[in-house]
Amino acid sequence: MRTVIFDLDGTLADTSGDLLAAANVCFRGLGHGDVLTTATDRGTAVRGARAMLTEGFERLGQPFAQSDIDEQFPILLEAYGNDIATHTTIYPGAREAVSRLRDAGYKVGICTNKPEVLAEQLMAALDFRDVFHSLVGADTLTVRKPDPLPFVEAVTRAGGDPARAVLVGDTQTDRDTSTNAGAPSILVTFGPGNFDVSSLKPEALLDHFDDLDGIVARLIA
């Protein structure tokens, strides 16, 4: 069965606003106020909690250690879980594209480096979970992207065939995951990072979800 697996943050939805707000809860708790902003740090947000904390501590210009990151990490996750979908928006055409793929007989799933419980919570809050056949998060298995196993697991749980699957993502991690899995990748050009994803040489670029059907059909005919 042909299968399309999607990354979540920066691919299906712009989650940067809520992620940055959660990171700023940490910095406010340390007495620094809001350190990160959506104007400058959206690309950092989709790289994950530790990337945001590292960027924030570096911006403060004060010495910090890995232990400081480790201490704030669970605080950030708790804050994010308490306010997960205030600023998050699904990218234009994403809902419709996923529905069209299902109607055309494709299996669809999610493979994200967001913790599984938070990914499930977010997708439910966005009323966008039930359309997907599978969801694999950062802690579903003992490894995470760019290891290929989470991608293969997402395909398998969806009822698909890893040999006839494609990964839609937005970062180097997604590109490396597809390469490691021996699968084609489609990278979106509208993610929050200021990075030219074409330099990663994916099998295809996606400028708008309206174009996804044709690209997928070409890659996994």
What 3-state DSSP class applies to 156?
helix
Question: Does the annotation mark 83 as catalytic?
Answer: no
Q: How many CA atoms within 13 Å lie on the side-chain side of 48?
A: 15
Nearest Cα residue to 109 out of 166, 31, 24, 186: 166
Amino acid at 102: R
In the set 7, 9, 41, 174, the catalytic residue is 7
CB-CB contact of 145 with 42 (8 Å): no
Query: Which helix or strand (DSSP H or E) is residue 204 part of?
Result: strand 204-206
What 3-state DSSP class applies to 215?
helix
Q: Which residues contact 152 (CB under 8 A, 6 or more apart)?
A: 162, 181
User: How many CB atoms lie under 10 A from the CB of residue 146?
Assistant: 19
CB-CB contact of 12 with 128 (8 Å): yes
Instruction: Tell me which residues are annotated as active site.
Output: 7
